[in-house]
Amino acid sequence: MKLLVTGGLGFIGSNFILNTLSKHPEFEITNIDAELFGSNQKNLDPLKKNSNYKFVKGNITNKILMEKLIQNSDVVINFAAESFVDRSILDANPFLVSNIRGTYTILDIIKNQKKKLIHISTDEVFGSLENQNADENFKLNPSNPYAATKAAAELIINSYNTTFDTDCIITRCTNNYGPMQFPEKLIPKTIILASQKKKIPVYGNGKNIRDWLFVTDHCEAILNILDNGKSKQSYNISADNYIDNITIVEKILSKMGFTSELIEFVDDRPGHDLRYGLDSSKIRNELNWSHSVDFDAGLEKTIDWYMKNNEWWKEMSSDIFRSTPWKN
Protein backbone atom coordinates (compact mmCIF):
# COMPACT_ATOMS: atom_id res chain seq x y z
CA MET A 1 0.00 0.00 0.00
CA LYS A 2 1.19 3.51 -0.81
CA LEU A 3 0.39 6.13 1.82
CA LEU A 4 0.74 9.89 1.54
CA VAL A 5 1.12 11.23 5.07
CA THR A 6 0.79 14.98 5.50
CA GLY A 7 2.47 16.69 8.45
CA GLY A 8 4.59 13.63 9.11
CA LEU A 9 7.38 15.53 10.88
CA GLY A 10 5.03 16.50 13.69
CA PHE A 11 4.38 14.60 16.91
CA ILE A 12 1.53 12.28 15.93
CA GLY A 13 2.43 12.04 12.24
CA SER A 14 6.02 10.96 12.89
CA ASN A 15 4.93 8.41 15.47
CA PHE A 16 2.39 7.07 12.98
CA ILE A 17 5.01 6.67 10.25
CA LEU A 18 7.46 4.88 12.56
CA ASN A 19 4.74 2.65 13.98
CA THR A 20 3.30 1.81 10.55
CA LEU A 21 6.60 0.89 8.92
CA SER A 22 7.53 -1.26 11.90
CA LYS A 23 4.24 -3.17 11.55
CA HIS A 24 4.05 -3.05 7.75
CA PRO A 25 7.57 -2.78 6.31
CA GLU A 26 6.12 -3.46 2.86
CA PHE A 27 4.15 -0.19 2.88
CA GLU A 28 5.51 2.77 0.93
CA ILE A 29 5.12 6.09 2.73
CA THR A 30 5.65 9.57 1.32
CA ASN A 31 5.69 12.29 3.93
CA ILE A 32 4.96 15.89 2.94
CA ASP A 33 5.67 18.50 5.58
CA ALA A 34 6.17 22.26 5.28
CA GLU A 35 8.59 22.19 8.25
CA LEU A 36 6.73 24.92 10.06
CA PHE A 37 6.20 25.27 13.82
CA GLY A 38 6.34 21.88 15.53
CA SER A 39 8.05 19.92 12.73
CA ASN A 40 11.33 18.16 13.41
CA GLN A 41 13.38 16.16 10.90
CA LYS A 42 15.06 14.29 13.76
CA ASN A 43 11.76 12.56 14.57
CA LEU A 44 12.29 10.29 11.57
CA ASP A 45 16.06 9.85 11.68
CA PRO A 46 15.61 6.06 12.02
CA LEU A 47 14.16 5.98 8.50
CA LYS A 48 17.02 7.72 6.69
CA LYS A 49 18.10 4.49 5.02
CA ASN A 50 14.62 3.04 4.55
CA SER A 51 13.86 2.80 0.83
CA ASN A 52 10.12 2.67 1.52
CA TYR A 53 10.14 6.13 3.12
CA LYS A 54 10.37 9.39 1.18
CA PHE A 55 10.26 12.96 2.48
CA VAL A 56 9.00 15.91 0.43
CA LYS A 57 9.22 19.44 1.77
CA GLY A 58 6.09 21.30 0.77
CA ASN A 59 2.79 22.78 1.85
CA ILE A 60 -0.53 20.98 1.48
CA THR A 61 -1.99 24.18 0.01
CA ASN A 62 0.30 23.74 -3.03
CA LYS A 63 -2.21 22.15 -5.41
CA ILE A 64 0.23 21.30 -8.22
CA LEU A 65 2.57 19.49 -5.83
CA MET A 66 -0.29 17.74 -4.03
CA GLU A 67 -1.80 16.53 -7.30
CA LYS A 68 1.45 14.74 -8.15
CA LEU A 69 1.85 13.22 -4.70
CA ILE A 70 -1.76 12.06 -4.41
CA GLN A 71 -1.63 10.60 -7.92
CA ASN A 72 1.16 8.29 -6.75
CA SER A 73 -0.62 7.25 -3.53
CA ASP A 74 -3.49 4.97 -2.56
CA VAL A 75 -4.56 6.78 0.61
CA VAL A 76 -3.95 10.25 2.06
CA ILE A 77 -3.70 10.49 5.84
CA ASN A 78 -3.95 14.13 6.81
CA PHE A 79 -2.15 15.01 10.04
CA ALA A 80 -1.03 18.42 8.76
CA ALA A 81 -2.45 21.14 11.00
CA GLU A 82 -1.67 24.07 13.20
CA SER A 83 -2.69 22.64 16.55
CA PHE A 84 -1.89 24.78 19.60
CA VAL A 85 -4.83 26.70 21.07
CA ASP A 86 -2.60 29.34 22.69
CA ARG A 87 -1.04 30.33 19.37
CA SER A 88 -4.44 30.39 17.64
CA ILE A 89 -5.51 33.03 20.17
CA LEU A 90 -2.44 35.10 19.35
CA ASP A 91 -2.84 34.75 15.55
CA ALA A 92 -5.56 32.64 13.94
CA ASN A 93 -4.47 33.18 10.33
CA PRO A 94 -1.99 30.25 10.06
CA PHE A 95 -4.73 27.98 11.41
CA LEU A 96 -7.18 29.16 8.77
CA VAL A 97 -4.63 28.49 6.03
CA SER A 98 -3.42 25.05 7.15
CA ASN A 99 -6.54 23.61 8.70
CA ILE A 100 -9.17 24.88 6.27
CA ARG A 101 -7.46 25.82 3.02
CA GLY A 102 -5.10 22.86 3.24
CA THR A 103 -7.92 20.38 3.81
CA TYR A 104 -9.91 21.88 0.94
CA THR A 105 -6.91 21.51 -1.40
CA ILE A 106 -6.63 17.80 -0.59
CA LEU A 107 -10.37 17.29 -0.97
CA ASP A 108 -10.54 18.93 -4.35
CA ILE A 109 -7.79 16.65 -5.63
CA ILE A 110 -9.11 13.36 -4.23
CA LYS A 111 -12.52 14.27 -5.66
CA ASN A 112 -11.03 14.21 -9.16
CA GLN A 113 -8.53 11.38 -8.63
CA LYS A 114 -10.98 9.13 -6.74
CA LYS A 115 -8.59 8.53 -3.85
CA LYS A 116 -9.24 7.86 -0.16
CA LEU A 117 -8.71 10.35 2.69
CA ILE A 118 -8.40 9.73 6.41
CA HIS A 119 -8.56 13.11 8.13
CA ILE A 120 -7.24 13.50 11.69
CA SER A 121 -9.42 15.82 13.75
CA THR A 122 -9.81 16.51 17.48
CA ASP A 123 -12.21 16.24 20.41
CA GLU A 124 -12.05 20.03 20.71
CA VAL A 125 -14.56 20.46 17.86
CA PHE A 126 -17.31 19.63 20.39
CA GLY A 127 -16.32 22.34 22.83
CA SER A 128 -16.42 22.10 26.61
CA LEU A 129 -18.56 19.25 28.01
CA GLU A 130 -19.32 19.16 31.72
CA ASN A 131 -20.69 15.70 32.45
CA GLN A 132 -21.10 13.95 29.12
CA ASN A 133 -18.99 12.46 26.36
CA ALA A 134 -19.62 13.31 22.72
CA ASP A 135 -20.39 10.51 20.28
CA GLU A 136 -19.83 10.82 16.54
CA ASN A 137 -23.18 12.57 15.99
CA PHE A 138 -22.78 15.20 18.71
CA LYS A 139 -23.16 18.85 17.75
CA LEU A 140 -19.98 20.69 16.78
CA ASN A 141 -19.49 23.62 19.15
CA PRO A 142 -15.85 24.83 19.08
CA SER A 143 -14.73 27.45 21.59
CA ASN A 144 -11.41 28.73 20.23
CA PRO A 145 -9.95 29.61 16.80
CA TYR A 146 -7.98 26.36 16.53
CA ALA A 147 -11.00 24.17 17.27
CA ALA A 148 -13.16 26.27 14.94
CA THR A 149 -10.82 25.64 12.01
CA LYS A 150 -10.82 21.91 12.72
CA ALA A 151 -14.63 21.90 12.89
CA ALA A 152 -14.77 23.83 9.61
CA ALA A 153 -12.54 21.23 7.97
CA GLU A 154 -14.90 18.48 9.13
CA LEU A 155 -17.89 20.29 7.65
CA ILE A 156 -16.13 20.71 4.30
CA ILE A 157 -15.25 17.02 4.26
CA ASN A 158 -18.84 16.03 5.01
CA SER A 159 -20.06 18.30 2.22
CA TYR A 160 -17.70 16.65 -0.26
CA ASN A 161 -18.82 13.20 0.86
CA THR A 162 -22.42 14.17 0.20
CA THR A 163 -22.01 16.28 -2.94
CA PHE A 164 -19.16 14.48 -4.72
CA ASP A 165 -19.33 10.98 -3.17
CA THR A 166 -15.73 11.24 -1.94
CA ASP A 167 -14.20 8.42 0.08
CA CYS A 168 -13.33 10.23 3.31
CA ILE A 169 -13.17 9.18 6.95
CA ILE A 170 -12.82 11.56 9.90
CA THR A 171 -11.11 10.51 13.12
CA ARG A 172 -11.20 12.49 16.36
CA CYS A 173 -8.80 11.85 19.19
CA THR A 174 -8.44 13.07 22.75
CA ASN A 175 -5.21 14.59 24.12
CA ASN A 176 -2.20 12.61 22.91
CA TYR A 177 1.04 12.30 24.86
CA GLY A 178 4.29 10.41 24.40
CA PRO A 179 7.76 10.71 22.83
CA MET A 180 8.56 13.54 20.40
CA GLN A 181 5.67 15.81 21.39
CA PHE A 182 6.55 19.44 20.79
CA PRO A 183 7.59 21.09 24.09
CA GLU A 184 4.82 23.71 24.03
CA LYS A 185 2.26 21.11 25.20
CA LEU A 186 1.51 20.47 28.89
CA ILE A 187 3.26 17.15 29.53
CA PRO A 188 6.59 17.75 27.74
CA LYS A 189 6.64 21.35 28.94
CA THR A 190 6.29 20.19 32.54
CA ILE A 191 8.95 17.49 32.16
CA ILE A 192 11.47 19.86 30.58
CA LEU A 193 10.94 22.72 33.02
CA ALA A 194 11.07 20.37 36.00
CA SER A 195 14.34 18.87 34.75
CA GLN A 196 15.78 22.40 34.82
CA LYS A 197 14.20 23.13 38.23
CA LYS A 198 12.25 26.00 36.71
CA LYS A 199 8.76 27.15 37.61
CA ILE A 200 5.94 25.31 35.83
CA PRO A 201 3.07 27.60 34.78
CA VAL A 202 -0.43 26.19 35.30
CA TYR A 203 -3.41 28.07 33.89
CA GLY A 204 -6.09 29.24 36.34
CA ASN A 205 -6.68 26.72 39.12
CA GLY A 206 -5.48 23.75 37.07
CA LYS A 207 -8.84 21.99 37.20
CA ASN A 208 -9.34 21.73 33.44
CA ILE A 209 -9.95 18.07 32.55
CA ARG A 210 -8.73 16.14 29.51
CA ASP A 211 -8.72 12.49 28.47
CA TRP A 212 -5.17 11.30 27.79
CA LEU A 213 -4.31 8.85 24.99
CA PHE A 214 -0.82 7.45 24.48
CA VAL A 215 0.30 8.26 20.95
CA THR A 216 0.97 4.66 19.85
CA ASP A 217 -2.59 3.70 20.84
CA HIS A 218 -3.80 6.49 18.56
CA CYS A 219 -1.56 5.22 15.74
CA GLU A 220 -2.95 1.70 16.13
CA ALA A 221 -6.50 3.06 15.94
CA ILE A 222 -5.72 4.86 12.68
CA LEU A 223 -4.21 1.70 11.19
CA ASN A 224 -7.34 -0.19 12.22
CA ILE A 225 -9.50 2.43 10.51
CA LEU A 226 -7.29 2.27 7.42
CA ASP A 227 -7.99 -1.47 7.19
CA ASN A 228 -11.56 -1.68 8.45
CA GLY A 229 -13.12 1.78 8.63
CA LYS A 230 -16.20 2.54 6.57
CA SER A 231 -16.24 5.33 4.00
CA LYS A 232 -17.98 8.59 4.96
CA GLN A 233 -17.94 7.64 8.66
CA SER A 234 -16.29 9.31 11.63
CA TYR A 235 -14.64 7.54 14.56
CA ASN A 236 -13.88 8.87 18.02
CA ILE A 237 -10.67 7.62 19.66
CA SER A 238 -10.29 7.94 23.43
CA ALA A 239 -8.80 6.14 26.43
CA ASP A 240 -11.08 7.15 29.34
CA ASN A 241 -8.15 8.63 31.28
CA TYR A 242 -9.87 11.77 32.57
CA ILE A 243 -7.41 13.77 34.64
CA ASP A 244 -7.19 17.48 35.45
CA ASN A 245 -4.11 19.50 34.58
CA ILE A 246 -2.91 20.08 38.12
CA THR A 247 -2.96 16.33 38.82
CA ILE A 248 -0.95 15.71 35.63
CA VAL A 249 1.70 18.19 36.74
CA GLU A 250 1.81 16.76 40.28
CA LYS A 251 2.18 13.22 38.90
CA ILE A 252 5.10 14.25 36.72
CA LEU A 253 6.82 16.09 39.56
CA SER A 254 6.38 13.12 41.88
CA LYS A 255 7.78 10.66 39.32
CA MET A 256 10.76 12.97 38.75
CA GLY A 257 11.44 13.42 42.47
CA PHE A 258 10.25 17.02 42.81
CA THR A 259 7.63 18.69 44.99
CA SER A 260 4.72 20.91 44.06
CA GLU A 261 6.81 23.96 45.01
CA LEU A 262 7.75 24.27 41.33
CA ILE A 263 4.12 24.93 40.35
CA GLU A 264 3.20 28.51 39.55
CA PHE A 265 -0.44 29.36 38.87
CA VAL A 266 -0.82 31.96 36.11
CA ASP A 267 -3.70 33.86 34.50
CA ASP A 268 -6.06 31.53 32.69
CA ARG A 269 -6.17 31.73 28.91
CA PRO A 270 -9.25 33.25 27.24
CA GLY A 271 -12.10 30.82 26.60
CA HIS A 272 -10.32 27.92 28.30
CA ASP A 273 -12.61 24.89 27.96
CA LEU A 274 -13.16 23.13 31.27
CA ARG A 275 -13.52 19.56 30.02
CA TYR A 276 -13.41 17.54 26.80
CA GLY A 277 -14.87 14.06 26.49
CA LEU A 278 -15.34 11.51 23.71
CA ASP A 279 -17.48 8.39 23.53
CA SER A 280 -15.36 5.89 21.58
CA SER A 281 -17.74 2.92 21.81
CA LYS A 282 -18.19 2.93 18.01
CA ILE A 283 -14.58 2.07 17.17
CA ARG A 284 -14.39 -0.32 20.11
CA ASN A 285 -17.54 -2.22 19.16
CA GLU A 286 -17.43 -2.05 15.35
CA LEU A 287 -13.67 -2.28 14.72
CA ASN A 288 -12.61 -4.11 17.89
CA TRP A 289 -10.02 -1.47 18.82
CA SER A 290 -8.98 -0.80 22.41
CA HIS A 291 -6.21 1.24 23.96
CA SER A 292 -3.41 -0.74 25.60
CA VAL A 293 -1.15 1.74 27.42
CA ASP A 294 -1.98 2.51 31.04
CA PHE A 295 -1.68 6.23 31.75
CA ASP A 296 0.94 6.00 34.51
CA ALA A 297 3.01 3.56 32.48
CA GLY A 298 2.75 5.83 29.44
CA LEU A 299 3.73 8.83 31.54
CA GLU A 300 6.84 7.03 32.80
CA LYS A 301 7.79 6.10 29.22
CA THR A 302 7.35 9.71 28.19
CA ILE A 303 9.45 11.11 31.04
CA ASP A 304 12.16 8.56 30.31
CA TRP A 305 12.23 9.49 26.62
CA TYR A 306 12.64 13.22 27.31
CA MET A 307 15.37 12.62 29.87
CA LYS A 308 17.29 10.44 27.41
CA ASN A 309 16.79 12.80 24.47
CA ASN A 310 17.57 16.23 25.89
CA GLU A 311 19.45 17.25 22.75
CA TRP A 312 16.17 16.90 20.86
CA TRP A 313 14.38 19.52 22.92
CA LYS A 314 17.31 21.78 23.81
CA GLU A 315 17.32 22.99 20.21
CA MET A 316 13.78 24.34 20.60
CA SER A 317 13.32 28.04 21.24
CA SER A 318 12.75 29.11 24.83
CA ASP A 319 9.89 31.27 23.54
CA ILE A 320 7.57 28.26 23.73
CA PHE A 321 7.75 28.42 27.51
CA ARG A 322 5.98 31.74 27.84
CA SER A 323 3.06 31.26 30.21
CA THR A 324 0.63 33.56 28.41
CA PRO A 325 1.54 33.76 24.71
CA TRP A 326 -1.49 35.84 23.73
CA LYS A 327 -0.14 38.78 25.74
CA ASN A 328 2.32 41.10 23.98
Which residues are tagged catalytic? 123-124, 146
DSSP state of 144: S
* Pairing of the two strands 263-266 and 200-203: parallel
Q: How many residues does the chain have?
A: 328
Q: Which residues contact 96 (CB under 8 A, 6 or more apart)?
A: 149
According to DSSP, the residues that pair with 103 across neighbouring strands are none
Measure the CA–CA gap between 125 and 86, rounded to whole angstroms: 16
Q: DSSP secondary structure string, 196-257?
A: TT--EEEETTS--EEEEEEHHHHHHHHHHHHHHPPTT-EEEE----EEEHHHHHHHHHHHTT
CB 219 within 8 A of CB 16: yes
